[in-house]
Amino acid sequence: MRALIVEDEPRIAADLERALKAAGFLVETVGDGETAWFRGGTEQYDLIVLDAFSSDTMPAHLMTVEALRVYLSRLNAGGMIAMNISSRYFDIAPVVAATAAEAGMFALHKEDHIDAAAAPYIQPSHWVVMGRDLHALESFGR
């Protein structure tokens, strides 16, 4: 299985790469979306991880129908896109789900539940996992 990580923070990229390699993926990591999508490669992936969000900024250009179609063109038939949409200020899961539907994909929203009393400085993360295969997404969500 092949995975592409799009992450500009080296420490987070290394953690993601280590976890995916442990799960049996061959991993490629790039620091930004332009490098990933516009370098002319034709590689196909089983998983694309987009971790471009921060708690207070929202890269809208990564969530357009056109962008999702570019990602989709790089996925294998049963592949999935995992997009970190964590934000302290915006609930964009419905927007990403609607955009995914328009691009021909299904979407599943996953949210960490953190006990604020036990970990007061940790913020929950929010992810949307998208793909063409609803059954695979539902299996992933269990």
Structure tokens at 29: 């990591």
Q: Could you tell me whether strands 75-84 and 126-131 are parallel, antiparallel, or unpaired per DSSP bridges?
A: antiparallel
Which residues are paired to 129 by β-bridges? 82, 108
Among candidate residues 16, 2, 5, the one with its CA nearest the CA of residue 46: 2
pTM, 2 dp: 0.83
CB distance 47 to 13 below 8 Å: no
The pLDDT of residue 29: 87
Q: For 6-61, how does the pLDDT look when each residue is reduced to its tens digit (9 = 90+)?
A: 888 888 889 999 999 999 999 998 876 666 665 556 789 999 998 866 656 666 77
